[in-house]
């Protein structure tokens, strides 16, 4: 086998193994509720419906703005920073994302490479049906 083909085969095998390892660390598959929420979220973002987005955020929420993590306390703060959070790159990531390709990790449901995170609303009382909300914008810890 040619050296390049051996290298390409080895690289492909390593990539598959790494993907399998990362998937093994993920939580369960996203739920139907996660997927339905994402569809509504995507529709709202692409329509420019800031009110819908703000109404579905679990405040306070962390957001990455210009590479820095910032706490967004309420809908007014989100509205003021919306253009810095929902950049063209983020909107395009949301546009390309499909519900079937969502990934659930121990942190929540990841859109794109972590541009937006979905999770269960912690304000929902125990025993009540879970409610999905936006829990982070960007990879902020």
| pLDDT (0 to 100) of residue 139 | 81
User: Could you report the per-residue pLDDT of 70-120, keeping only the tens digit for each?
Assistant: 999 999 999 999 999 999 999 999 999 999 999 999 999 999 999 999 999
> Residue 27 has what pLDDT?
66
Q: pLDDT tens digits, residue range 49-84? A: 999 999 999 999 999 999 999 999 999 999 999 999
What are the sequence ranges of the domains in the chain?
A: 28-137
Write 91-96 long-range contacts (CB < 8 A, 24+).
91/45, 91/46, 94/41, 94/42, 94/45, 94/46, 95/42, 95/46
């Amino acid at each position: 086998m040619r050296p390049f083909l051996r290298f390409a085969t080895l690289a492909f095998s390593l990539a598959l193994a790494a993907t399998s390892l990362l998937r093994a660390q993920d939580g369960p598959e996203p739920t139907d509720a996660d997927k339905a929420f994402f569809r509504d979220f995507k529709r709202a973002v692409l329509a420019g419906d800031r009110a819908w987005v703000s109404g579905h955020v679990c405040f306070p929420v962390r957001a990455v703005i210009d590479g820095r993590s910032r706490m967004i306390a309420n809908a007014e703060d989100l509205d003021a920073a919306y253009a810095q959070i929902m950049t063209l790159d983020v909107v395009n990531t949301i546009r390309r994302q499909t519900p079937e390709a969502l990934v659930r990790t121990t942190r929540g449901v990841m859109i794109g490479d972590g541009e937006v995170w979905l999770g269960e609303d912690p304000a929902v009382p125990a025993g009540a049906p879970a409610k999905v909300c936006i829990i982070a914008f960007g990879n902020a810890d």
